[in-house]
Amino acid sequence: MLLVIDVGNTNTVIGIYDGDTLKHDWRIRTIRDSTADEFNVLANALFSDKNIDRKNIHKIIISSVVPSAVPILNAFCEKYMGLTPLWINPNSVKKLMPILYNNPNEVGADRIVNAVAAYDKYKTSLIIIDFGTATTFDVISEKGEYLGGAIVPGVMIASEALFQKASKLPRVEIFEAPEKIIGKDTIESIKSGIIYGNAAMVDGMVERMTKEMDTLPRILATGGLAPLISKISNTIEKVEQSLTLDGLRIIYNEIGNK
C-alpha cells in the first residue's frame, strides 16, 4: 500500500492507496510544532480506527508547503515506518509536466500535484481552483504544460480579517449561501458578500484567464469550500476533492519506482 500525505498551511490530508484505489483518507489540522513521536501517536490512532496494519505500507510520498513539517515527517517515516519518503518538488515532476514559471522552484508542491492529477484525468487545457488557506488558480495548457496562475487570499483568511478589523461585525459561520444576494440583516449581508463575492471573483478570474489562453479550458475546483462555491459559480464545471491525493499517487507510480 501507498501512504500519501499533503501538508497544507491549515490542514494536512492523508490517504492510503491499495493500487489505484483510495481506501481511506483523513483531513487533520496542520500542527507546525509537533514531533515525530507525536505524529506517530496520531497516525496510530488513524490506522487503528480503519484496521490498517502499517506493515502493509511499503511506499510513502509527501508534498508540503510548510517547511517545519519536513523534518518531522521525515523522522516519522524513517523511525516508525522504516521507509524513506519521496518528497515532491518541481525538479521531481518536470518530466511529467513542464513548469513554465519564471522560477519553477516558487510553485507550491500542492499546486504541482493538483496539475499533474487533473491533466492525467482530462488530457486537455485546464484551470484548477483550489480553495485552501489561499485560493489558487493553476493554468494548464493543452500540451500538459504548467503555465502559471494566480494566488488570492483564501475565503476563511479574508473572512477572519474582516471580523478582526471591523469590530462591530459579528463572526459568522460559512456553511451555506443565503437564498438572496441582497442581505436583509448583517449576518445575511456578510454571508452574501463572502460567498457570492468569492464566486464572482472566481468567475471573473476564469473569464480573464480563458481570454489569455486562446482555448476553452475545463474548470475544476478542489479544497474544503469547493462544493459550496461551485454551487454558485457560473464557470466551475466539476469538483474534484481527491485531486491532490490522486496526484501524489500518479507521481509515485511514475517516478517513485524508478
Evaluate if residue 59 carries a pLDDT over 90.
yes
Query: 5-54, pLDDT tens digit by residue?
Result: 999 998 999 999 999 999 999 999 998 888 999 999 999 999 999 999 99
Q: In this structure, are residues 35 and 42 in contact, taking their beta carbons and an 8 Å threshold?
A: no
Give the active site residue among 110, 130, 138, 246: 110
Structural domains in the chain, sorted by start: 2-87 (3.30.420.40), 90-241 (3.30.420.40)
What gap in Å lies between CA 28 and CA 160, rounded to an integer?
Answer: 20
Evaluate if residue 207 carries a pLDDT over 90.
yes
pLDDT band at 188; cut points 50, 70, 90: very high
- Given this model, what pLDDT does residue 240 score? 96
Rounded to the nearest integer, the mean pLDDT of the chain is 93
What gap in Å lies between CA 26 and CA 13, rounded to an integer?
Answer: 6
Q: Tell me how many degrees the CA angle 45-253-242 measures, rounded to the nearest 5.
A: 55
- Given this model, what pLDDT does residue 61 score? 97
- Given this model, what pLDDT does residue 258 score? 60
What gap in Å lies between CA 238 and CA 247, rounded to an integer?
Answer: 17
Query: 241-250, pLDDT tens digit by residue?
Result: 999 999 999 9
Q: In this structure, are residues 57 and 3 in contact, taking their beta carbons and an 8 Å threshold?
A: yes
The more confident residue out of 17 and 158 is 17
The more confident residue out of 69 and 174 is 69
The more confident residue out of 153 and 174 is 153
Query: 95-122, pLDDT tens digit by residue?
Result: 889 999 999 989 988 999 999 999 999 9
Give the phi and the psi of residue 66 in degrees, each rounded to 5: -115, 100
In the residue annotation, 110 being an active-site residue is answered as yes
* In the chain, beta strands by DSSP E: 2-7, 11-18, 21-29, 59-64, 86-87, 126-131, 134-140, 146-153, 218-223, 238-239
- Lowest-confidence region among 173-177, 195-199, 221-225: 173-177
Give the phi and the psi of residue 56 in degrees, each rounded to 5: -85, -5
